[in-house]
Amino acid sequence: MRALRLMRWNSEPELVELPEPEPGPGQVVIRVGGAGACHSDLHLMHDFQPGQMPWDPPFTLGHENAGWVHALGEGVTGLEIGQPVAVYGPWGCGFCERCRVGVETYCENTSASPAPGGGGGLGADGGMSEFMLIPHPRFLVPLPDGLDPVSAAPITDAGLTPYHAIRRSWGKLPPGSTAVVIGVGGLGHMGVQILKATTAARIIAVDTREAALKLALASGADQALLSGKDTAAEIRSATGGRGADVILDFVGSDATLAMAGAAARMVGDITIVGIAGGTLPVSFFSPPYEVSVQSTYWGSRPELIEVLDLAARGLVSPTIVTYPLERAVEAYRRLQAGELSGRAVITP
Ligand code: NAD
Ligand code: ZN
Ligand code: ZN
């Protein structure tokens, strides 16, 4: 089968031939329907150094996957061949307290994971190939009726990650509150839709690209602002001087974090989702009093089930551009150049 593999750090992935995976005892192989192209893969290709992650290339990219059950290993029950499934991407040990409640992102025994500190597409082989080996059936969530694997794929990361970030701030988003989404790409446009579907907050979206601002408004934002040195002041004036209750930064650069610090309301949340690696100085005097600054990583299995439900009911609906596997490198180049709207999904 063909697979798009990252062969070494600081390189673009290559399309290579690999043997089809066979499920061992307790494992499952899926036929991939869709594999989303995440900006994190660009960071993997261009920004990471050997030794920075607990794993190294080569591995097949694609950590945002859905497809159909293709083959069951010995002893696997509860799944049927041909059944549509989404892949829960962060693969923990399955036994620690965190894994037992489905929060495998924060596994505390990662050395016992099938992909320590990662998952399929992050150290282990991911979904940018015709078939993908799933090391345990708990990493598969049956798709609810009304959702096909191509639309479900981005839900597993571009949907799940903002859902997790927004869900933990729900208490700060009553009617009358304001949420700001910085960076309206794959994750950000889902973030806007999830805010709209699950809160009554007013939504202000910020991006450097006009096309992204258009997508933000189409996704349910009340206001869209071009990102620049005056954006924080514009957010303050749009909120009667108070500032934004919750700011979700899907970029995470020095510039966007400074904007978030200057635009936050007292007792607000600044949530860093983007991994551009910027920093935000925090002291008693800034950001405003009792602002919580937090990073978030992906999401839990129960949250994946919840956000898949939102998608199956049409309450959120990713904007998708599909690419065949042969054009996956082109999709990543377009993502890097800021030429994509929404999410590129590779359909192997
Ligand atoms: P994307 O490229 O699709 O979207 C990024 C958006 O940010 C683009 O629309 C871009 O125009 C905009 N942007 C860039 N600089 C900006 C600025 N200064 N101000 C405002 N907007 C700006 O990327 P994506 O796939 O949505 O991923 C977003 C980020 O989240 C990436 O850093 C990715 O690695 C990270 N990520 C984090 C997690 C996590 O668990 N924390 C999970 C997935 C992705
Ligand atoms: Zn990702
Ligand atoms: Zn664990």
- Tokens representing 115 are 């992909």
Ligand 1 touching residue 276 (CB < 6 A): yes
Q: Are strands 223-226 and 264-272 parallel, antiparallel or unpaired?
A: unpaired
Match 């129960």 to its residue by tokens.
302
Ligand 1 touching residue 208 (CB < 6 A): yes
Under 8 Å between Cβ of 124 and 193 = no
Q: Which CATH superfamily is domain 2-158+299-346 in?
A: Medium-chain alcohol dehydrogenases, catalytic domain (3.90.180.10)
CATH assignment of 169-295, among 3.30.40.10, 3.40.1350.10, 3.40.50.720, 2.40.10.120: 3.40.50.720
CA distances from 105 to 100, 114, 136, 151 (A): 12, 13, 16, 23
Q: Are strands 343-346 and 320-323 parallel, antiparallel or unpaired?
A: parallel
Identify which of 187, 194, 345 to mutate to test ligand 1's pocket (most ligand atoms within 8 A of the CB): 187
Ligand 1 touching residue 275 (CB < 6 A): yes
Ligand 1 touching residue 255 (CB < 6 A): yes
Of the listed ligands, the closest to the CA of 101 is 3
- Taking the model in full, what pTM does it have? 0.98
| Residue range 23-56, pLDDT digits in tens | 999 999 999 999 999 999 999 999 988 999 999 9
CA nearest to 316, candidates 167, 126, 154: 154
Q: Where are the domains of the chain?
A: 2-158+299-346, 169-295
Ligand 2 centre to CA of 64 (Å) is: 7
Ligand 1 touching residue 43 (CB < 6 A): yes
Ligand 1 touching residue 338 (CB < 6 A): yes
For the CA of 164, the nearest atom of ligand 1:
40
* Domain 2-158+299-346 matches domain 169-295 at the CATH topology level: no
| Residue range 191-228, pLDDT digits in tens | 999 999 999 999 999 999 999 999 999 999 999 999 99
| Residue range 289-338, pLDDT digits in tens | 999 999 999 999 999 999 999 999 999 999 999 999 999 999 999 999 99
- Asked whether the ipTM of the predicted complex exceeds the cut of 0.95, the reply is yes
Please list all protein residues whose beta carbon sits less than 5 angstroms from ligand 3, which is an ion: 92-93, 96, 99, 107, 109
Measured at the CA of 315, the angle between CA 227 and CA 106, to 5 degrees, comes to 70
Ligand 3 centre to CA of 266 (Å) is: 36
- Tokens representing 18 are 């690999």
